[in-house]
């Protein structure tokens, strides 16, 4: 009799454990299905957001030919309107901040994570960067194109920054760099950040053309010198006034 009761209890325990396993398996199945649905929905949403490429209708031109202002030209302008004495290190640059303006990311451009420069420019160069940002946004808006930000990849460099860049093998890091005077900044031409969430998107080559058109306008107006640095994938810009 006792053995029969024990058998019944064991059977009951097995059934209870089996029930728990089935419940657990059901929960796992539901969770997995929800996760897959969410992933598929996210993928579909991304495809819906950007499925139509649009272009700036401006004429293409040779960046290398148009943006070939020499180092000598840029250095002369930098010395004329920039810092009287290039800072030797970051500590010395900090003491010069009353002569400089802090550059921050805004709706038109992003200040990149700087490793060999600090986000400061003399007021004239800071104003020019703002003008370029506004011109870039204006062309996009006037042509009914989505809004993008461009990247500022290099700003004020100290003498120590230049030495570190030279050690890393950067061939454009000259000893008498215009970046030392706070008049010069680099803008990446293969990196852009889309701000507006629309179905339309633009290829980076076409955004490069928009940015290039803005710089060409500023160059023709006599406000900047521009060097097309293809190895560093940036426009090297020095303010002239």
What are 81-107's pLDDT values in tens digits? 999 999 999 999 999 999 999 999 999
Query: Is residue 15 predicted with pLDDT exceeding 50?
Result: no
CA 104 to chain centre: 12
pLDDT score of 35: 56
Say how many C-beta atoms besides its own lie within 10 A of residue 155's C-beta. 25
Q: Please give the average per-residue pLDDT across 66-72, as a whole number.
A: 96
With cut-offs at 50, 70 and 90, classify the pLDDT of residue 11: very low
pLDDT score of 33: 52
Of 103, 123, 124, nearest in space to 187 by CA: 103
pLDDT tens per residue, range 19-63: 545 444 554 554 455 555 544 444 444 455 688 999 999 999 999
Of 221, 124, 236, nearest in space to 170 by CA: 236
Query: Is residue 142 predicted with pLDDT exceeding 90?
Result: yes
Question: Residue 29 — φ and ψ, nearest 5°?
Answer: -65, -45
Query: Is-contact 182 238, C-beta < 8 A?
Result: no
pLDDT tens per residue, range 145-172: 999 999 999 999 999 988 887 776 655 5
How, if at all, do strands 120-121 and 184-194 pair?
Answer: unpaired
pLDDT tens per residue, range 166-216: 776 655 556 678 999 999 999 999 999 999 999 999 999 999 999 999 999
What predicted TM-score, i.e. pTM, was given to this entire model? 0.78
Question: Residue 110 — φ and ψ, nearest 5°?
Answer: -120, 130
With cut-offs at 50, 70 and 90, classify the pLDDT of residue 14: very low
Q: Please give the average per-residue pLDDT across 128-134, as a whole number.
A: 98
């Amino acid at each position: 009799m006792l053995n029969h009761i024990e058998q019944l209890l064991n059977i009951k325990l097995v059934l209870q454990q089996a029930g728990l396993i089935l419940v657990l398996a059901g929960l796992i199945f539901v969770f997995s299905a929800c996760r897959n649905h969410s992933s598929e929905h996210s993928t579909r949403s991304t495809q819906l957001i950007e499925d139509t490429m649009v272009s700036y209708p401006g004429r293409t031109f040779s960046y290398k030919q148009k943006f070939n202002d020499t180092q000598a030209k840029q250095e002369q302008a930098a010395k004329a309107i920039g810092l009287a004495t290039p800072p030797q290190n970051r500590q010395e640059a900090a003491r010069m901040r009353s002569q400089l303006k802090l550059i921050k990311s805004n709706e038109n451009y992003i200040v990149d994570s700087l490793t060999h420069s600090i986000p400061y420019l003399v007021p004239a160069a800071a104003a020019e960067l703002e003008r370029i940002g506004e011109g870039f946004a204006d062309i996009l808006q006037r042509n009914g194109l989505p809004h993008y930000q461009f990247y500022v990849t290099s700003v004020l460099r100290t003498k120590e920054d230049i030495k570190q860049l030279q050690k890393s093998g950067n061939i454009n890091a000259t000893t008498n760099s215009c970046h030392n005077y706070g008049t010069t900044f680099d803008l990446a031409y293969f990196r852009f950040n889309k701000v507006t969430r629309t179905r339309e998107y633009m290829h980076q080559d076409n955004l490069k053309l928009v940015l290039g058109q803005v710089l060409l306008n500023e160059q023709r107006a006599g406000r900047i010198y521009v060097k097309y640095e293809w190895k560093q994938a940036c426009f090297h810009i020095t303010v002239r006034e």
